Amino acid sequence: MATVVIDGIQTNYEVYGSGPPLLMMAPGGFDSTIEKWSMAGVWKGMQPLESLAKDYTCIAYDRREAGLSGGRVERLTWPGYAKQAKGLLEHLGHERAFIMGGCMGVSVATAFGVAYPEASLGLVLHWPVGGPRWHIAGVERFETHHTFLVQNGLDAVVSLAKEGKTFWTNPEAGPWAAAINNDSSFAERFASQDADRYAGLISATGRTLYDRDTAPGAEPEELMALKVPAIIIPGYDVAHATSAARYLEECLPESEYWDVSVEQQTPGAVRERILGFMASLK
């Protein structure tokens, strides 16, 4: 593994294979780490860091505030997540890349496409998050952390995070749990901050990231103006509503919607569909 400081935040990343660059925004919600590409859903059978690396330079990383990457206490935004990805791409010397997002990584991928269309060869959007149940659950996640903070204080948040709890597995631990657990100096700064200011920051971040019943990440008007080819692979569960995938199809003018059931989305079929889409753009 390698690390680089991007916008003042340490980013943990790995590079596999050779060929055109493929920048990968991992699935896993707020636990968006390199490991999720080999552990989550269809990726477990597909092993994309190995199978796609035969034809592409696969660039995988831990999103900020996840895994071994660092963080900074500030309002979290989709463009902010995209900024980290762009910095990593520049660090590795690539001007353009294919952009692939899975799950919540789709929202980062669409934000990247809107912010940096000149750097986007094509978007691979697998199982975008969205739908009313995802929206409700996301808002509740931030409310749960806010309540725990108000009732117990910042020191209790730090203690919970140091038990290895993450925001995804235990919302009470908050979005900076991984950074607290990995970095003692970050934990000290976190505990010494103004608790009222932090409480307001949590509320604002929750509203920012979970602001709609469909796929978050970029505004519809921005997506409608995005002239970057995209392939959309729909999910079908409480976190990845099919309606969210259809929304992206409606908004993205140069998108292809892979209209197959989840049962037909075998690891081999998904791999071949992704490879076929990217090969058509070379």
Q: What pLDDT sits at residue 41?
A: 85
Q: Cα(42)–Cα(221) distance, rounded to whole angstroms? A: 31
What is the amino acid identity at position 104?
Answer: M
Q: Cα(39)–Cα(46) distance, rounded to whole angstroms? A: 10
Q: What pLDDT sits at residue 204?
A: 97
Q: Cα(205)–Cα(110) distance, rounded to whole angstroms? A: 19
Summarize pLDDT for 236-245 with one digit per residue, the tens.
999 999 999 9
Q: What pLDDT sits at residue 145?
A: 98
**Closest C-alpha among 63, 83, 41, 80 to residue 166:** 63
Q: What pLDDT sits at residue 248?
A: 98
What stretch(es) of the chain map to CATH 3.40.50.1820?
Answer: 2-131+215-279
Q: What pLDDT sits at residue 282?
A: 77
Summarize pLDDT for 157-178 with one digit per residue, the tens.
999 999 998 999 999 999 999 9
Cα distances from 241 to residues 95, 130, 167, in angstroms, run 33, 6, 22
Q: Cα(98)–Cα(157) distance, rounded to whole angstroms? A: 38
Q: What pLDDT sits at residue 1?
A: 78
Which residues fall within 8 angstroms of residue 207, CB to CB, at 6 or more apart? 139
Q: What pLDDT sits at residue 40?
A: 79
Q: Cα(179)–Cα(172) distance, rounded to whole angstroms? A: 15
CATH number of the domain at 2-131+215-279, please?
3.40.50.1820
**Closest C-alpha among 151, 152, 141 to residue 207:** 141
Which residues fall within 8 angstroms of residue 143, CB to CB, at 6 or more apart? 206
CB 209 within 8 A of CB 175: no
Which residues fall within 8 angstroms of residue 95, CB to CB, at 6 or more apart? 119
Helix (H, G, I), strand (E, B) or coil at 160: helix
Q: Which residues of the chain have pLDDT under 70?
A: none
Q: Cα(30)–Cα(26) distance, rounded to whole angstroms? A: 10
Q: What pLDDT sits at residue 113?
A: 98
Summarize pLDDT for 16-38 with one digit per residue, the tens.
999 999 999 999 999 999 999 99
